[in-house]
Amino acid sequence: MTTAQVTSPLPETLWHYTDAAGLIGILSNEDVAPTPGVVGSGTFKPILWASAAQFLNDRRELVHGLELVKGHIEEVIDPPTGTISPLGTVTPTLMNAKKDFLRELCRAIDAVIERRYEAYIHCCTISFSEDPDVLSQWRAYGGGLGGFSIGFNTSQFPHSDGSRAHVGGLGLHKVSYTSDALEGELLKAVKGYIDQLLLSPDTPKPTRTRVHREMQSLAFFAASVKHKGFEEEREWRFIEPGFFNPPEFRATPSGLIPYRKIELPASAVTGAWVGPGPNQYENYVAVQSLLHRLGYLAASYNVHCSETPFR
């Protein structure tokens, strides 16, 4: 079962924070091989890596959202005093069957939160910000010193144009910031999902396959939720389910992480900012040269230095 996510209007540009190695890795992907003996005849394109949300270093990125979704489902099963559950619109027999399925779904969510869920969840994400110069982002993603933020034209992203695939969960989605309960657009989206389940004439059997399918849908909602304390990041996430192709894998000090490659045209890169640090001037000159060398000519003339003072 799927339901539409509420999509916010896309800003013209979003910024991805990274370190020097990440900058080179994203930008230096060969698109057209150079002609032998002809200098500068090859072209390059940006490729982003969207990591599986289930494997992120900070598991709260997914867990916080799932906890809130589970809390909403539990209130549907056992509504607080004075409220009416949508389950009241069905017959007692069907109501009990639907409650059983929802309880099984809650148990699956608990398994994910407690690292007991045995299946791979096809939900890969990569983060962006509306702001190219945020201190917390430099610290978190720029390596603390010498980081970069790369500007991307949002119209160049797949599945981010209000299409059926986009409203179904793919593409760029604005992060919702909330502390202890679903609210706003996210609440509407999850409520619509649950209502769709409850108002259907039949009840899905709580098989492992069916529960996993619903877990996948809920993960898309959870992947666009963060605690209110991170609101200054003004974050957006690109969400790539990748049901039909197997993921790539990369090695980290802690083990394997599945990811998916997001290929964009060269025109998607609009510019860059250089983070605070003792070598900011050198990085500023170098990134201009790098962008020019790789053929991102317009972006090479749109490079700026962070206004955050270095300490």
Residue 259 confidence (pLDDT): 92
* Higher pLDDT among residues 228 and 48, named by residue: 48
Name, in order, each residue with C-beta under 8 angstroms of 107's C-beta and a sequence gap of 6 or more: none
pLDDT tens-digit series, residues 148-172:
999 999 999 987 777 776 766 678 9
**Do residues 163 and 155 make contact, with C-beta atoms less than 8 angstroms apart?**
no
Report the percent of the chain where pLDDT is more than 70.
84
Per-residue pLDDT band for 1 (boundaries 50, 70, 90) equals: very low
**205 phi, psi to nearest 5 deg:** -75, 140
Q: Which residues pair with 44 in a beta bridge?
A: 30
Average pLDDT, the chain: 84
Beta-carbon count within 10 A of 149 CB: 27
Q: Is 211's pLDDT higher than 60?
A: yes
What is the pLDDT averaged over residues 132-157? 87
pLDDT classification of 223: cutoffs 50, 70, 90: confident
- Checking if the pLDDT of 6 tops 60, the result is no
Model confidence at 115, pLDDT cuts 50, 70, 90, reads confident
Is it the case that residue 71 has pLDDT exceeding 90?
no
Burial 65-96 (b: 16+ CB within 10 A, else e): bbbbbbebbeebbeeeeeeebbbeebeeebbe
Note the Cα 187 to chain centre separation in Å: 18
Residue 310's contacts (CB-CB under 8 Å, 6 or more residues apart) are 145, 276, 277, 278, 280
Q: Is the pLDDT of residue 128 over 70?
A: yes
Work out whether strand 176-177 and strand 225-226 pair parallel, antiparallel, or are unpaired.
parallel
Average pLDDT over residues 225-235: 81
The answer to whether residues 309 and 172 touch, using CB atoms and an 8 Å cutoff, is no
pLDDT band, residue 126 (cuts 50/70/90): very high
Among candidate residues 293, 241, 295, 302, the one with its CA nearest the CA of residue 266: 295
| Predicted confidence (pLDDT) at residue 305 exceeds the cutoff of 90 | yes
Stronger pLDDT, 229 or 15, i.e. the higher one? 15
Residue 121 exposure: Cα atoms within 13 Å on the Cβ side: 33
Residue 265, pLDDT above cutoff 60 = yes
- pTM for this entry: 0.85
CA distance 90 to 233: 43
